[in-house]
Amino acid sequence: MAGEFEEEVNDLGTIDLPYGREVRMEEIVYESGMRLLRMRMREGKRHTIIDVDAESAAAWSKMLGDWSSVSSA
């Protein structure tokens, strides 16, 4: 079908969050070799899916790490 891409999905793990929320992370590898991190966020019946590239994932990771260091002290 036109517009569809073949992709390989590799499960990276699931994080259980407070209040029954959950984040599942997957590596998506397209035929072209492009790799993205897919985050599937579940909050009750609501689902949000975000695909990010390596640069964005690194920036997100740094922000989370910085916040965690300050907040858990």
Domains held by the chain: number: 1
Q: In this model, does residue 59 exceed pLDDT 80?
A: yes
Q: In this model, does residue 1 exceed pLDDT 90?
A: no
Q: In this model, does residue 2 exceed pLDDT 90?
A: no
Compute the average pLDDT of residues 8-29.
96
Give the span between the Cα atoms of 22 and 60, in whole angstroms. 17
Does residue 50 come out as left (phi exceeding 0), alpha (psi in the -120 to 50 range) or beta? beta
32-45 tens-digit pLDDT: 999 999 999 999 99
Q: In this model, does residue 17 exceed pLDDT 80?
A: yes
Give the span between the Cα atoms of 33 and 14, in whole angstroms. 24
In a domain, 16, yes or no: yes
Compute the average pLDDT of residues 21-32.
96
Q: Which domain holds residue 57?
A: 7-71
Q: In this model, does residue 49 exceed pLDDT 80?
A: yes
In a domain, 35, yes or no: yes
